[in-house]
Amino acid sequence: MSKNEPINLKQDRRQWLKASATVLGASLLPLPAVAAKASQSEAPPAKAQSKPAGGKTVAPFFTPAQYALVEELSETIIPADSHSGGAKAAKVADYIEQELRESTDDSRKSTWHEGLRLVDLMSQHYHGKSFVDSSSEERIAVLTVLSDNDQMTDLPEVRFFRELKHLTVRGYYTSKIGIHNELEYKGNRLLLEFVGCDDPAPKSS
Amino acid sequence: MAESEIDLNKTYDAVVVGSGAAGGMAAHVLTSRGLQVLMLEAGKKLPIEQELRSMEWPYNNPHRGELPPDRHALTFNEYTIRNPPYGPGFEKSKHLHSYIGSSDYVKNIVVDERENPFTGTNYAWVRARCLGGKTNIWGRLALRLSDYDFKAKSRDGFGEDWPISYSDLAPYYDKVDLYLGITGVKENLPHLPDSIFQRPTRLNCAEVTLKQSLQKMGRVLTPYRAGVTTDGLKHNKYRSRCWGRGACERKGGCDIHAAFDSPTGLIYPAADTGNLTLRTNAVVREVTVDPQTGKASGVHFIDSQTMKDYTVRGKVVIVAASTLESARLLLLSKSRLYPNGLANSSGHVGHNFCEHIMGPGVTGQVQNLVGKPSTLDDGRPGGFYLTRFRNLTEKHPKFIRGYGFEGGSGARMFPQGTDAHGFGASFKEEVRQNQGSYIGMGAFGEVLARYENYVDLDPVVKDKWGIPALRFHYKFGDNEHRMAEDMKETAQEMFEAAGFKITHVSNRVLTEGWSIHELGTARMGNDPKTSVLNQFQQSHDVKNLFVVDGSAFVNASCQNPTWTIMALCWRSCDYLADEFGKGNL
């Protein structure tokens, strides 16, 4: 894919959807039951399995493969850099997993299942390999297609990208790494007096 | 606080319905004057410090400070596309809240919309049924009204003048300042009188830039005048001074009670006099009347948990249930003597409903703050207040009355600018570099008090306790929409003049009710034919009935109402105690 010309997502998607027509039938409707069954046969990611207040173990929302994909996607949205850790270090995928596992919004859940599948189709189409197996440049290239077309909210992969970015941002900037390491937030502590700017000190009555 | 059990065989000197700013103030004044007061609150007494948890980090909260998944708070979009009663369409949420209930720290303070339905026109009606009501989570901006407001009709011909002047209320504003604590800076403005301020909070650099630019335009920006004690209060053991922790930004309340709330500021000290009896979970459904004398005799209430019905007696009944609930209660209190509801011979109960319009505003960036090291900008009760400048000395051609702006700038716990386009390393760096450079403000403008804007009782829909629901007939009018246009334009002009890069302009007018400043449904006045209450918030019709909350306002002004509610209530309860002592009630 060319770096200079913006991708026409609506035109391109016909190709990558067609290329995967054979697998479409099987996975277009990623039923939660299917996901749950799959997760039982494989070892679920340790963090994604948590116990709700009732003490009952709840099936994770993501399969281990999906979880790994979410980790890499979130890290591509907010990567580690020389300043601080990224989404992976901040365990954003755990936050997203919990959000979706507890969500009562079925259309949001299917946006995620469908979106993860479409992102991998895109990766196969553009680079001949899955997103997780791609280099970071290749990952950035795939998400750039979605980001550059992020107003096309009629497309499920675009809706997914916006959700991915929203939850990654939310999860990251409410994490320890996001608040303390990345933003170096100074508040939420006892303060004798707020230090303002060099305005002549306001007088009390 | 010392609590005593309700005595159903006793006739209390005063029965106070509601425990918010008004009910709390009534309890404070009357118990200190020696009256035996029974306070009834519809909601629970919450373990409020455990609810608010002002210093909890988001990563230590199960949902990062947001609502648990079985709850939903209505959004602007939902208020726009749906109609009351809000509930259908949200079956998957066990609890449904008004928009303000969108945080884990507020969820038990605000009511469940399904238990408390209302009908009619769209309205973001925020109700807090718990001890202290909305004062547990209020925005803290504590402003005085002036004769520009009390005598607004004399200035522009619209509506009615108040039956009082600023000079009548000024001594009571002073009392409220000293008893509860307020921070701010003196500005000597005729339209926004100064309070007796404690230690002021400082402006940060972007705010100073805006202030200095506004000075050239003759406009005044002042540090947030907050109903927060910055020096502490020697006479109140329940409240701490402000420690600049900054959690007030989080749509929550103050768990050390530096910000005023009714329980620690008024009710607990009132209880310590030994003259207060508090009954929570008491949903008052009617003010009872003695058919012989025509006077109020007490109230009927339902225990919110057991559904059992009770009757209590009082020599005086004080309604302080919040503007709309107080109107509802008066309308519910129909009898052979008062077929239109109590205190309603004028037909004005529920009418002249007014508030503040909000929504228009602007966000900008101060370029020379981009990329600067992180600073502490939210360690204070608020940012700034930009005072009214319309229709003071010159007459605006398109609308009457005025508006002010609330705003602030600088770094916050959750950064601004994350809605920027893109992702990846550059996005991350941009958010970090920009975080301290933002400044924003939003307007609050006067909604005219018009007879046609009103509430009445729905003939069919009832709440969880079988009490008829309110029905809204309320819309912003042309004056408000023209004012909103002006808000948007002046906001941009002022930011441009200050040299800020404008990043967002908000044009949308938020749903009616959004300001949580509803007022006027039982207005005061000298003429019993066009007003419900006299200047002491005493019913023209029933002399031992007082309505001491925001419903008594004659107009909304553009200033936030809580401080005025309390000053008026103090004045009225002083009068009440005098009259009570003389046997005139």
Contact A84, B428 (CB under 8 A): no
Contacts of A187 in chain B (CB under 8 A): 245-246, 376-379, 411-413
The answer to whether A147 contacts chain B (CB < 8 Å) is: yes
Residue in A105, A188, A196 closest to B202 by CB = A196
Nearest to B129 by CA among B381, B553, B463: B463
- Torsion angle defined by CA atoms of residues B349, B352, B353 and B359, in that order, rounded to the nearest 10 degrees: 180
pLDDT score for A37 = 40
Using CA atoms, how far apart are residues B69 and B51, in angstroms rounded to an integer? 18
Domain assignment present for residue B247? The answer is yes
pLDDT score for B449 = 98
Q: Provide, rounded to the nearest whole percent, the portion of chain B with pLDDT above 70.
A: 99
Using CA atoms, how far apart are residues B444 and B146, in angstroms rounded to an integer? 17
Write out the residue range of the structural domain in which residue B412 sits: 182-259+356-446+476-511
For B286-307, how does the pLDDT look when each residue is reduced to its tens digit (9 = 90+)? 999 999 999 999 999 999 999 9
Domain assignment present for residue B334? The answer is no
Using CA atoms, how far apart are residues B548 and B583, in angstroms rounded to an integer? 20
Using CA atoms, how far apart are residues B256 and B209, in angstroms rounded to an integer? 32
Q: What ipTM score was computed for the predicted complex, to two decimals? A: 0.93
Determine if the peptide bond prior to A30 is cis (ω within 30°). no
- Residue among B53, B423, B426, B430 with most chain A CBs within 10 A, to mutate: B423
Q: Three-state SS for A123?
A: helix
Contacts of B211 in chain A (CB under 8 A): 199
Using CA atoms, how far apart are residues B357 and B443, in angstroms rounded to an integer? 8
pLDDT average, residue stretch A126-134: 95
If one counts the domains in chain B, the total is 1
pLDDT at B526 over 60: yes
Q: What backbone phi and psi angles, to 5 degrees, belong to B258?
A: -70, -40
For A55-102, how does the pLDDT look when each residue is reduced to its tens digit (9 = 90+)? 567 889 999 999 999 999 999 999 999 999 999 999 999 999 999 999
> Is B376 within 8 Å of A191 when comparing Cβ atoms?
yes
Contact B350, B186 (CB under 8 A): no
> How crowded is residue B170: how many other Cβ atoms within 10 Å of its Cβ?
14
Instruction: Provide the sign of the torsion angle of the four alpha carbons B170, B172, B177, B183, taken in this order.
Output: negative
Using CA atoms, how far apart are residues B112 and B95, in angstroms rounded to an integer? 6
- Residue among B428, B431, B434 with most chain A CBs within 10 A, to mutate: B428
Domain assignment present for residue B166? The answer is no
More confident residue, A91 or A32: A91
CA distance B143 to chain A (A): 16
Domain assignment present for residue B338? The answer is no
> Is A193 within 8 Å of B244 when comparing Cβ atoms?
yes
Which DSSP symbol is given to A154? T
CA distances, B272 to each of B266, B275, B315 (Å): 10, 8, 22
Which DSSP symbol is given to B196? -
Degrees (nearest 5) of the Cα angle B338, B342, B346? 85
pLDDT at A26 over 50: no
pLDDT score for A58 = 80
pLDDT average, residue stretch B393-398: 96
Domain assignment present for residue B106? The answer is no
Instruction: Provide the sign of the torsion angle of the four alpha carbons B329, B355, B228, B144, taken in this order.
Output: negative
pLDDT score for A21 = 53
Please provide the DSSP assignment of B81-95 as one string.
H--SSPBTB-TT-SE
Residue in B194, B414, B423 closest to A174 by CB = B414
More confident residue, B314 or A27: B314
For A137-189, how does the pLDDT look when each residue is reduced to its tens digit (9 = 90+)? 999 999 999 999 999 999 999 999 999 999 999 999 999 999 999 999 999 99
CA distance A173 to chain B (A): 6
pLDDT score for A3 = 52
The answer to whether A42 contacts chain B (CB < 8 Å) is: no
pLDDT score for A31 = 32
pLDDT at B319 over 50: yes
Q: Three-state SS for A101?
A: helix
What is the chain B residue with the closest CA to A150?
A: B421
Please provide the DSSP assignment of B206-218 as one string.
HHHHHHHHHHHTT
Domain assignment present for residue B155? The answer is no
The answer to whether A96 contacts chain B (CB < 8 Å) is: no
pLDDT score for A199 = 60
Residue in B201, B243, B424 closest to A190 by CB = B243
For B542-569, how does the pLDDT look when each residue is reduced to its tens digit (9 = 90+)? 999 999 999 999 999 999 999 999 999 9
Least confident segment among A15-29, B272-286, B350-364, B546-560: A15-29
pLDDT at B20 over 80: yes
Name residue, tokens 């400082």. B202
Q: What backbone phi and psi angles, to 5 degrees, belong to B323?
A: -45, -50
- Residue among B59, B93, B204 with most chain A CBs within 10 A, to mutate: B59
Least confident segment among A35-39, A188-192, B19-23: A35-39
Domain assignment present for residue B1? The answer is no
Query: Both tokens of residue B173?
Result: 């504003």
Domain assignment present for residue B195? The answer is yes
Q: What CATH number does residue B391 fall under?
A: 3.30.410
